[in-house]
Chain A
């Protein structure tokens, strides 16, 4: 199985914990044939140890009905231990059961299958009650203990013999595929998606530009050397596989497809990779039926359960014998619920009328998928009839036989001085494909594939965590001859170049109160790079041992800046609360303000005593002129004041900042006419005769008058009976 058994143990423990006590007790009794009283913990331990007890499991399996044994075998051949119930029902039907649900539930009662549910808070009282929910849910599963599947296969269950028609004349046998077609295309897809992540439209499908790019890509759409049929593959097919295997993920937040950091699924030996791909068949099936990728033409390949049944049936035939596609169709038509005839029809009648959808599916699945995956061999007789049989590797990958040892050709790369690499396919294996994909660019696929080393590809390889030495070692290990000096030199140059600039996307900086404190921290083993006498950079904050430190303050630069500056009454003196300040603040302030020394008379005694916690800056005409020359606008400074002080730009700063742009100030002598109350001043301002002789209103009872207009104004006032008296001081 692809997943390690240790994963299964913890899943099984969780699953059993959700059984109601009476159900759990019954299942454990049925499995162990032991009626002693057990605590829940003892139940879990006894069940876990039961699956290590091979004779016990064999005894239970031998007591099963043939169709139950066949179902366990089919589940094992699917190479996964977690199954959605609808798929298990299909497989039970293929196993020959007339009542698939009863068969599954009886295996659950016997402790040879388990059910997993996430939502049932009450616990499962009866399996029958769980079924309706499991048919709709995507969080409820049937679990097959790996040991049960292995032992069931060893007992050779019968799925019903497949007829064995003789071929006409001699068979023309096609060379066995290398199983690398899908891994190679996935490697190409991983690269292309990584370089330029395609975007997904709101209602599904790729954006036109990305769709066109993939559609026109010869590496994602060209025929493979092992193609026997016009199977509708192409980039959509590989994209679905990429998503099913976790190589590519849909980022719903950004509506974009992202790749995994490493092509993890490829970094194993061939058998493991093929097993992993095969086990993802159900994920592919659900993605093919999912509309947002619009992969409609691909539905021809599924259902996956039919594929599992077909290959299991093939495994019952002697290893050297061939089986025709017609015989396989006749076998499957009587078993799979999609094509199974009505009960009134006999099996012979059904076998004589094979629906065309089954023939098409069978051909596409076997010749278009199983053959390039190296699961089967294919041949044609004189009458153009196709015959197939399982390969030794196929039996091993499906868990139906031992894995054969495959020939190894470690030296398979021809690295040329022009930085092109020819990879001879017979020596390629998925792990090497995965490694090369990290630092070379695939240029062509075929019997001999070509790749190109470029500065960008090497740079991207280094970004995945490879080092220069590791890249060199991969090439040296697999090159048919010594690496050209030009290639070695180019790799060194490109790798060195990367060391010249480092970008920290989320560094942690420690700011110490003094240089001595920083040195003391280093002496205690602080894993940091010293930046200044008081600042140090830590690449991984997890490595910090906080027991040595007392946190004075913490600033997170992903959050909006803190309001940590207060403005004095003079409007130009700024006081910074250093505990709340960030590193950006000082660089910001230095652009338009000058630091004030602690000894300055501008700093009050109270603040001087608080020197460690506060720092003072002052805006001056010079500092603001410099800021203007560096491109800082009044708007930018205004934004800064709002963010950092929570208030508007002080008037004094506005004056210093914008004074040069104002109209010239006017200096002139004016007389002030004072009225006894505001109502008189209002009247003079409103009456047109007097208004034309007044310059402006200075206050509620003060009006400005020009010297030249004074006689006329006095005459006017006298004419309405208002007397005036002159200020002797004026």
Chain B
């Protein structure tokens, strides 16, 4: 690809994610029932896709588990809910 060619890309905005330090920790998070309920899927071995609008609940649950999650950015629209 030439340096002047524009690269085709699809942009996903306002995605809610958990990124764990390693795969074992991600698995540990998934084994927590109340957290797993908020997870839509596992994007990679250490990356979990969260249901939109559930950031506050996820952070609260992580803290209840004894973690101190770094929260990056704020969600401007937390009202919509994916039910699956």
Within 8 A of B (CB), among A547-572: 547-561
> Contacts A503-B69, A535-B43, A539-B73 hold; do A583 and B12 have CB atoms under 8 A apart?
yes
Q: Cβ of A548 and Cβ of B7 under 8 Å apart?
A: yes
Q: With an 8 A cutoff between CB atoms, is A501 at the interface?
A: yes
Residues of B contacting A588 with CB < 8 Å?
40-41, 84
Expressed in whole angstroms, the minimum distance between the Cβ of B37 and any Cβ of chain A is 10
Q: Cβ of B20 and Cβ of A510 under 8 Å apart?
A: no
Q: Cβ of B70 and Cβ of A502 under 8 Å apart?
A: yes
Complex Cα distance, B58 from A559, in Å, reads 19
Q: Which of A462, A521, A557, A586 contacts B14 (CB 8 A)?
A: A557
Within 8 A of B (CB), among A528-555: 531-532, 535, 537, 539, 541, 547-555
Q: With an 8 A cutoff between CB atoms, is A587 at the interface?
A: yes
Specify which of A503, A520, A579 lies most central, judged by the most chain B CB atoms within 10 Å of its CB. Answer: A503
Chain B proximity mask over A577-598: 1 for CB below 8 Å, otherwise 0: 0010011101110110000000
| Residue total for A at the interface (Cβ-Cβ under 8 A) | 61
Q: With an 8 A cutoff between CB atoms, is A498 at the interface?
A: yes
Residues of B contacting A557 with CB < 8 Å?
12-16, 52
Residue of B nearest to A508 (CB): B13
Q: Cβ of B7 and Cβ of A502 under 8 Å apart?
A: no
Within 8 A of A (CB), among B3-29: 3, 6-21, 25, 29
Q: Cβ of B8 and Cβ of A504 under 8 Å apart?
A: no
Complex Cα distance, B52 from A195, in Å, reads 24
Within 8 A of A (CB), among B52-84: 52, 55, 58-59, 62, 67-78, 80, 82-84
Q: Cβ of A550 and Cβ of B13 under 8 Å apart?
A: no
Q: Which of A503, A541, A556, A584 contacts B70 (CB 8 A)?
A: A503
> Contacts A498-B69, A531-B47 hold; do A511 and B7 have CB atoms under 8 A apart?
no
Expressed in whole angstroms, the minimum distance between the Cβ of A25 and any Cβ of chain B is 47
Residue of A nearest to B3 (CB): A524
Specify which of A507, A520, A532, A539 lies most central, judged by the most chain B CB atoms within 10 Å of its CB. Answer: A507
Q: Cβ of A555 and Cβ of B10 under 8 Å apart?
A: yes
Q: Cβ of B70 and Cβ of A499 under 8 Å apart?
A: yes
Residues of A contacting B17 with CB < 8 Å?
503-504, 507, 537
Q: Cβ of A554 and Cβ of B13 under 8 Å apart?
A: yes
Q: Tell me whether chain A's interface is mostly helix, strand or loop, or mixed.
A: mixed
Q: Cβ of B69 and Cβ of A550 under 8 Å apart?
A: no
Q: With an 8 A cutoff between CB atoms, is A494 at the interface?
A: yes
Residues of A contacting B82 with CB < 8 Å?
561, 584
Q: Which of B11, B67, B84 contacts A551 (CB 8 A)?
A: B11
Complex Cα distance, B27 from A75, in Å, reads 64
Residues of A contacting B6 with CB < 8 Å?
547-550
| Residue total for B at the interface (Cβ-Cβ under 8 A) | 49
Q: Which of B8, B67, B73, B80 contacts A558 (CB 8 A)?
A: B80
Q: Cβ of B12 and Cβ of A511 under 8 Å apart?
A: yes
Q: Cβ of A559 and Cβ of B68 under 8 Å apart?
A: no
Residue of A nearest to B70 (CB): A502
Complex Cα distance, B11 from A552, in Å, reads 8
Residue of A nearest to B6 (CB): A550
Q: Cβ of A502 and Cβ of B19 under 8 Å apart?
A: yes
Residue of B nearest to A592 (CB): B84
Q: Cβ of B18 and Cβ of A502 under 8 Å apart?
A: yes
Q: Cβ of B44 and Cβ of A509 under 8 Å apart?
A: no
> Contacts A537-B17, A558-B14, A640-B84 hold; do A531 and B43 have CB atoms under 8 A apart?
yes
Q: Cβ of A462 and Cβ of B8 under 8 Å apart?
A: no
Complex Cα distance, B9 from A547, in Å, reads 12
Q: With an 8 A cutoff between CB atoms, is A513 at the interface?
A: yes
Residues of A contacting B49 with CB < 8 Å?
583-584, 587
Complex Cα distance, B10 from A570, in Å, reads 31
Q: Cβ of B68 and Cβ of A502 under 8 Å apart?
A: no
Q: Which of A463, A537, A549 contacts B7 (CB 8 A)?
A: A549
Q: Cβ of A521 and Cβ of B9 under 8 Å apart?
A: yes
Residues of A contacting B40 with CB < 8 Å?
584, 587-588
Specify which of B12, B18, B44, B77 lies most central, judged by the most chain A CB atoms within 10 Å of its CB. Answer: B12
Q: Cβ of B7 and Cβ of A517 under 8 Å apart?
A: yes
Residues of B contacting A541 with CB < 8 Å?
13
Complex Cα distance, B6 from A517, in Å, reads 10
Q: With an 8 A cutoff between CB atoms, is A420 at the interface?
A: no
Complex Cα distance, B69 from A455, in Å, reads 12
Q: Cβ of B8 and Cβ of A513 under 8 Å apart?
A: yes
Complex Cα distance, B70 from A294, in Å, reads 38
Residues of A contacting B14 with CB < 8 Å?
506-508, 556-558
Expressed in whole angstroms, the minimum distance between the Cβ of A41 and any Cβ of chain B is 40
Residues of A contacting B19 with CB < 8 Å?
501-504, 537
Q: Cβ of A560 and Cβ of B73 under 8 Å apart?
A: no
Residues of B contacting A508 with CB < 8 Å?
11-15
Q: Cβ of A504 and Cβ of B72 under 8 Å apart?
A: yes
Residues of B contacting A636 with CB < 8 Å?
83-84
Q: With an 8 A cutoff between CB atoms, is A442 at the interface?
A: no
Expressed in whole angstroms, the minimum distance between the Cβ of B27 and any Cβ of chain A is 13
Expressed in whole angstroms, the minimum distance between the Cβ of B78 and any Cβ of chain A is 8
> Contacts A517-B8, A561-B82 hold; do A500 and B13 have CB atoms under 8 A apart?
no
Q: With an 8 A cutoff between CB atoms, is A720 at the interface?
A: no
Residue of A nearest to B47 (CB): A531
Complex Cα distance, B48 from A587, in Å, reads 11
Within 8 A of B (CB), among A697-725: none
Q: Cβ of A551 and Cβ of B70 under 8 Å apart?
A: no
Q: Cβ of B8 and Cβ of A552 under 8 Å apart?
A: yes
Q: Which of A532, A556, A579, A586 contacts B10 (CB 8 A)?
A: A579
Q: With an 8 A cutoff between CB atoms, is A58 at the interface?
A: no
Expressed in whole angstroms, the minimum distance between the Cβ of A96 and any Cβ of chain B is 53
Residues of B contacting A587 with CB < 8 Å?
40-43, 49
Q: With an 8 A cutoff between CB atoms, is A512 at the interface?
A: yes
Residue of A nearest to B67 (CB): A501
Residue of B nearest to A535 (CB): B43
Q: Cβ of B68 and Cβ of A455 under 8 Å apart?
A: yes
Q: Cβ of A498 and Cβ of B84 under 8 Å apart?
A: no
> Contacts A520-B7, A560-B80 hold; do A459 and B68 have CB atoms under 8 A apart?
yes
Q: Cβ of B9 and Cβ of A505 under 8 Å apart?
A: no
Complex Cα distance, B68 from A497, in Å, reads 6
Q: Cβ of B1 and Cβ of A503 under 8 Å apart?
A: no
Q: With an 8 A cutoff between CB atoms, is A605 at the interface?
A: no
Q: Cβ of A516 and Cβ of B1 under 8 Å apart?
A: yes
Known interface pairs A463-B71, A557-B16; 16 further A-B residue pairs with C-beta atoms within 8 A, sorted by A's residue number: A455-B68, A503-B16, A503-B55, A506-B74, A507-B17, A509-B15, A517-B7, A517-B8, A517-B9, A521-B7, A531-B43, A532-B43, A551-B10, A554-B11, A558-B77, A560-B80
Q: What are 18 A-B pairs with beta-carbon distances under 8 A? A: A462-B68, A499-B21, A503-B18, A503-B58, A504-B15, A505-B16, A509-B15, A510-B10, A539-B73, A549-B7, A549-B9, A555-B12, A558-B75, A558-B78, A558-B80, A582-B12, A584-B41, A590-B41
Q: Please give me the 9 A-B residue pairs with the lowest Cβ-Cβ distance, nearest first.
A: A587-B41, A558-B77, A509-B12, A459-B68, A550-B6, A511-B10, A498-B68, A504-B17, A501-B69
